[in-house]
Chains A and B, each alone.
Chain A
Amino acid sequence: MDWASIFVLAGKELISPITAVYVLCAIGLSVHFGYTGLLNFGQAAFAAIGGYGLAIGILTFHMPIWAAVIFGLFCSAVFAAVLGIPTLRLRADYLAIVTIAASEIFRYLMTTIGFAKVTGGSNGLSQFGDEFWAANPFPDLDYGFGPFTYRNDEVYVMVIAWVLVAICAGIVALLMRSPWGRVLRGIREDEDAVRSLGKNVFVYKLQALIIGGLFASIGGMIFVLNLSNVQPQSWGTTFTFMIWTVLLLGGAATVLGPIVGTLIFFVLISLTQGLLSGLVQAGVLTFLSDPQVGQIRFILIGLSLMLLVIFRPQGIFGNKKELQFNV
């Protein structure tokens, strides 16, 4: 078995822009769930709206990229408002069911042949990144060392992705240390108490839903720019629950939790998968085939979600007292 390549792969996964995408979505979910207690099961849709908003803005409305970014973020905020206004006054699990339903509706709408002129149907959209790639300031060279050598385009996306992670984490840190964040944490503990103190709980919840959704939409934009295409099937519910897993792993009510959780998760997944693949190729594991090893990733996601929620709901780094699930 090639141990070196297994570790190199894990290391590459650690800094890949896709990892940063998951971090951004998890940061958004930490605003929703960790700080405000909102059960958002539609984070995939927020990311998808970012990606589709960007692509449709450029391809259909011929916007310059900065306008398309704003357009994507605007759509995401509208989506949050449409979901939030009817459900944020209801019990928490209604939001859960409505968000998951809405995220599936969105996916169906993007897949249907009826709107294929705009959305590309099940093929999705591509060819929207020209302006983005043209703006690459890195000269056309190889960067890095040894196995960690990247083309200038890869470096460009990676730098943008991780800078955005830093900015978003910074914003969350500022928000949560402010009186605004205090109100959110109060709402997480007991809405009625916060209401009795004269705070408009509904507006705060809506703001939290929008803000957390925006982070996910930024993540979605990086995702589609990095792949140079956007397709409906990337944004299934599995994506959402993967975000839940990484968030709960790191600690939902911490600023660093989403980052650390994602990093640990991807390294662990990459190592297990490398190991299993190696064992299959070496003929040790005869009952699995190579694609089945890929499916094991999802079993691990489900299993870690279960175990984390049961045994360590506050995450690896969270303060046990800071996050408990309320009934």
Chain B
Amino acid sequence: MKEILVLAEHRQGQWRDITFEMLSKARQLAESFGSEVHAVVLGKGVANSTDALRPMAHRVLLVEDERLEAFNSETYQTVLAQLITERKPLLTLIGHSTLGMDLAPNLAVQLKMPLATDCIGIDGKDGSFVLTRQIYGGKINSTVLFNKPGPYLVTLRAGTFPVLQRDSLQGDIIPLASPLTDGNLPKRFLAYVEAALGGVDITQADILVSVGRGIKGPENLPLVKEFAEAIGGTLSCSRPVVDKKWLPKGCQVGTSGKTVKPKIYLAVGISGAFQHIAGMKGAGTVIAINKDPKAPIFGVAHYGIVGDLFKIIPALKEKAKGLKQR
């Protein structure tokens, strides 16, 4: 029986959401060809919290070792390479997270496994898989096939696959011996640190007016800030604005920044990379202003305006001021 292995992802004692998203998808796939889902947990002192995975896996394979306490691609790769070589799963799923990005390409090369990264769709077909990926900044979807036989390695995009409510599988926890040996690793984990943020706490705002690359330059920020203030909103932004140092990191909405859930989210000149959308899709009402009618942001917006923000924001600012005076 060819199982599907899912690498459970955890950090600082917490399961990452991608773990459950992958397990849910893996179960669907496994059912379609009469297979099983086996979760793989690598860590130290995680046996108790591993219970959380049992409903979603036929088995939970647990490798505990103090050298697996914090993620290090070196140790993870050694353990997974051995597991995959021994068990020959049809498919191994890893998250396309900062963990998976550090691990999957190397593991694939070591084991000569065909790899497809950052997939937003996966279906079984004739013993292989059909994958969906996004290219050109999310403006195009590509259907991808493997050129070679498995076992296959696929990384899945976080926040894309729903966690379906199902009956519990009550999978047994199977402890496995750690294959790690003493020896110096060429890469050593030292510590976690919080990125320096700066700026106001955007997670508390009811209205966020968020600017992206379309703002062109820091000289145009006051225009949007004044409008935000006129409607009692807070200024936030997408990644490129922080990369260019136009606003502090604390203003950034998205995967590597803040996740926000304001009542109103106005996206101004933001194309809507998935990392951004992951941080704001919980907003009550999303209004997007963008020049490009095919910008991915319109896929999550409730209201859309195709046009020049440098014409629309001044008009909005004027009308908003008028409102206040009345």
User: Is this pair of chains taken from one and the same complex?
Assistant: no
